[in-house]
Amino acid sequence: MTRKFFVGGNWKMNGDKKSLGELIQTMNGGKVDSNVEVVCGAPSIYLDFVRSKLDSKFGVAAQNCYKVPKGAFTGEISPAMIKDCGVNWVILGHSERRHVFGENDELIGQKTAHALENGLGVIACIGEKLDEREGGITEKVVFAQTKVIADNVKDWSKVVLAYEPVWAIGTGKTASPQQSATQLAEDQRSVTGATCKELASQKDVDGFLVGGASLKPEFIDIINAKA
């Protein structure tokens, strides 16, 4: 069975109740393709707010979670807490979690397992850095990241695999549709209202994980890219 076209919006550490409320109004009032599954990744402090305001046809995701239900882990949130806010998705393994906060493959695998065991859908991110790409080890890196995730997945219907070419971030380089077509989701920094239709037309691309553009009205255009 073919998965619905999937569009995730990763809002990262951006927004406040005023600006996110305006974005939510735009999304709620926009005409969107009913054949697309849309999930918005909100900052954890706003999960309750976003879920209560955003139309139920849109999903909401936390941007991270920890690998256990509760305990002395200051600053972390658990899948149980996420679900208690009415939220059913989590983004795991994002490049910023890996390379800014030092999360390794093993930890991301453990988080994936715990999130799935607790009924969350997982947007699992993979991707190589510039030096890894230029060193010719892209496949090795992406395979290792994917294997640790795959080893912890029993039901792939609850998982979206998002390929994020980290080498395209802040380097002036851009991932072409062909470079991303072997993956399930295009990098958020390559997807804009201007590029979304071309990217969506690639036969092996069945979704996007969108960063900055998901905070703008053009996010509606990206959601409708396949239409």
Q: Catalytic residues, which ones?
A: 94, 164
Identity of the residue numbered 12: K
Strand, helix or coil for residue 112:
helix
Which residues have a Cβ under 8 Å from the Cβ of 186 and sit 6 or more positions away? 163, 175, 177, 180, 199, 205, 207, 208, 209
Distance CA 69, CA 27 (A): 32
Residue entry with tokens 């799935």? 116
Q: Is 2 helix (H, G, I), strand (E, B) or coil?
A: coil
* Cα 17 to the center of its chain, rounded Å: 21
Residue 95's H or E segment, with its range, is helix 95-99
- ∠ CA 34-36-40, nearest 5°, is 110
